[in-house]
């Protein structure tokens, strides 16, 4: 399928966003003090890699089809990572972890917004559906981070 110049430009922007998210989450997984947060960032890096693969597929002119089962994985991960953490028995660098979470949440807000804008610019329904699917997962990533922050008294 032939992409318009605008579609190509938007996908290239999304590709860069996903690459940045992967790099950021991998670094944050290394920098985080709390094991649960390290795990969350590692999981998010893997999901962002899947998004990057989808964007690259779209850049090659292939419209991916998104199955219903792909969306369910994020909700399960969200439930698993939103368990209460007993921080008083752990010696974590809460200030640094809070900073990492705040930045990650801001990043997810930005990326979700970028997908939202892009969805409206694609003429192919399958392409729009794929972008919409990724945007929904980006929102779920933000929810996971927000839940972690709320449960660990990092969100005011």
> In this predicted structure, what is the pLDDT of residue 93?
86
Asked if residue 59 belongs to a domain, the reply is no
For every residue of 92-110, DSSP letters joined together read --HHHHHHHHHHHHHHHHH
**Residues 65, 54: Cα–Cα separation, whole Å:** 10
**pLDDT confidence of residue 85:** 47
Q: Say if 141 falls within a structural domain.
A: yes
d(C-alpha 3, C-alpha 14), whole Å:
15
Domain-located, residue 133: yes
Residue 152 DSSP one-character state: T
Residue 82 lies in a domain: no
- Total structural domains within the chain: 1
Residues of the chain predicted below pLDDT 70? 67-92
Q: What is the pLDDT of residue 21?
A: 98
Closest CA to 140 of 67, 79, 97: 79
The domain of 126 spans 39-49+94-156
In a domain, 10, yes or no: no
Res 66: pLDDT? 74
What is the model's pLDDT at position 68? 53
Residue 140 inside a domain? The answer is: yes
Q: Hunting for tokens 């972890």 — which residue is that?
A: 97
Assigned domain for 109 exists: yes
Q: What is the pLDDT of residue 67?
A: 65
């Amino acid at each position: 399928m032939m992409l318009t110049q605008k579609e190509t430009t938007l996908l290239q922007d999304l590709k860069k966003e996903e690459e940045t998210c992967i790099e950021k989450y991998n670094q944050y997984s290394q920098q985080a003090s709390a094991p649960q947060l390290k795990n969350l960032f590692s999981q998010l890096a893997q999901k962002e890699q899947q998004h990057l693969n989808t964007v690259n597929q779209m850049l090659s002119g292939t419209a991916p089809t998104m199955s219903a089962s792909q969306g369910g994985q994020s909700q399960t991960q969200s439930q698993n990572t939103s368990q209460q953490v007993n921080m008083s028995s752990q010696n974590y660098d809460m200030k640094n972890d809070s900073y990492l979470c705040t930045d990650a949440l801001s990043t997810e807000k930005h990326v979700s917004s970028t997908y939202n804008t892009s969805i409206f610019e694609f003429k192919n329904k399958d392409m729009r559906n794929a972008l919409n699917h990724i945007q929904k997962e980006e929102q779920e990533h933000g929810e996971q981070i927000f839940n972690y922050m709320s449960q660990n008294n990092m969100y005011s």
